[in-house]
Amino acid sequence: MTLIKSISGIRGTIGGKVGDNLTPIDAVKFASAYGTWLKSYRNKETYNVVIGRDARPSGKMIQELVINSLQGLGINVVSLELSTTPTVEMAVKLEHADGGIIITASHNPVEWNALKLLNEKGEFLDGKEGKAILDLVEAEDYDFSKVENLGKRTNHNSYIDLHIEEILKLDDVLVEDIKQQKFKVVLDAVNSTGGISIVPLLEQLNVEVIQLYCEPTGQFPHNPEPLKKHLTELSKTVIKHNADFGIAVDPDVDRLAFMDENGEMFGEEYTLVSVADYILSRRAGNTVSNLSSSRALRDVTEKHGGQYTASAVGEVNVVKTMKDTEAVIGGEGNGGIIYPDLHYGRDSLVGLALFLSHLSQKQMKVSELRKTYPSYFMAKEKIQLTPQIDVDEILKKVENLYKDENLTTIDGVKIDFENSWVHLRKSNTEPIIRIYTEAPSQNKADELAEKMISEIKTLT
């Protein structure tokens, strides 16, 4: 089916032919390239890499291939087994490791898997580092170790607990205030590692958890992307149990979405908006999200006297911009919270703890909290690519067509109109052009997306 190589890692469907899909051979080649690059980059005598995976069925197989490849290069491995993306990122920091690999295809369906690559800070690699690894994959230039120098493996299954401990120490996480509220929530963990991470966090905060798909079997009961159309069971369960709100996470727990007490989506864009509102109410500071995220974050930031900056799409770009602007909170509009006081990575666990802290102070229902924020509506569409389509040429034509508008071209083309915007970009993970729009009503957002699709078709 599909194999996608990018600076952030390799992603593909399991089975099929080498080079066309994510096969065992591709996993070994990519892990070997990463390990080879790491040894050159760090230039030390001993090397340690942290490995963790989500619960999808192919994870164990890919994990063992990756670990054995790194050991063959003389690299020691700390295996977390079932874990979350933010937990692996935290573990790299706490272990003082040289890097990390997360085996997860994030929100993609069960037939997909991927290797996400981290540096010694527990952060995703930048473009230059990623390209160096891709070059090594193409060259297949690996130098494996002799038998006496093979890497060692250590299994460490307590890092989720350590991750939670670090969150509960944070000044902005109001542990006692949350406990007093005795919240009741429903959690949809899509049968992956949210069940073994979010549940114990909530239990330590005295939150009653009604568990929905919280066994880490890897058998996703629905499309794992936490969008409204996939969360009908969560909606019904929130209403049935008269819960305060619902929570949905993706398989590797770096995307966080909420549902109000009426079973209505809070809006994944507003996960970051609400958490930012809370942090900025406690201290002045700046915020960052990517170009495809809602204007609501800008509005909330400016209300608190801070400065909002938009980055190119991609966590590594958000993180760089956050560091450049000394942002106190940031992330992506897909429900990804990046809280620098803990670490520079999207983290649903800390995002949830901060949201609960916010609710404990606001003393209002989730539906009421949502009404306190500017109301924007988004449409997210896509156009499938074919070999005949020159994406860069299309984007250049769109840029020229709207040259008199407010344009941003650091990542595709974003056109800012007075009361709406549209962002067109080539996906890094799928063979598509993504089309994001935002407007004051859903109809207007949908109409703007359809207008752009029609115009693109006339340009091809």
Q: Is 431 exposed, middle or buried (0-12, 13-18, 19+ CB in 10 A)?
A: middle
pTM over 0.85: yes
Q: pLDDT tens for the chain, 460 residues: list them.
A: 578 887 778 999 999 999 999 999 999 999 999 999 999 999 899 999 999 999 999 999 999 999 999 999 999 999 999 999 999 999 999 999 999 999 999 999 999 999 999 999 999 999 899 999 999 999 998 999 999 999 999 999 999 999 999 999 999 999 999 999 999 999 999 999 999 999 999 999 999 999 999 999 999 999 999 999 999 999 999 999 999 999 999 999 999 999 999 999 999 999 999 999 999 999 999 999 999 999 999 999 999 999 999 999 889 999 999 999 999 999 999 899 999 999 999 999 999 999 999 999 999 999 999 999 999 999 989 888 776 678 888 899 999 999 999 999 999 999 999 999 999 998 765 667 889 999 999 999 999 999 999 998 888 7
Q: Is the dihedral of CA 30, 31, 32, 37 positive or negative?
A: positive
The tally of domains found in the chain comes to 4
Same domain? 252 vs 279: no
Q: Look up the CATH number of the domain holding residue 366.
A: 3.40.120.10
Q: Is residue 99 part of a domain?
A: yes
Give the per-residue pLDDT at 449: 96
Same domain? 350 vs 292: yes
Give the per-residue pLDDT at 393: 87
Same domain? 399 vs 342: no
Q: Is the dihedral of CA 132, 134, 139, 145 positive or negative?
A: positive
Q: Is residue 226 part of a domain?
A: yes
Domain range enclosing 191: 163-259
Tokens found for residue 177: 């205030």
Same domain? 48 vs 142: yes
Q: Which active-site residues does the annotation give?
A: 106
Q: Is residue 264 part of a domain?
A: no
Instruction: Give me the long-range contacts of 59-64 (CB less than 8 A, separation at least 24).
Output: 59/103, 59/104, 59/113, 59/218, 61/24, 62/22, 62/27, 62/103, 62/113, 62/115, 63/103
- Tell me which residue of 170, 201, 176 sits closest to 329, measured CA to CA: 170
- Tell me which residue of 276, 282, 278 sits closest to 337, measured CA to CA: 276
Same domain? 398 vs 442: yes
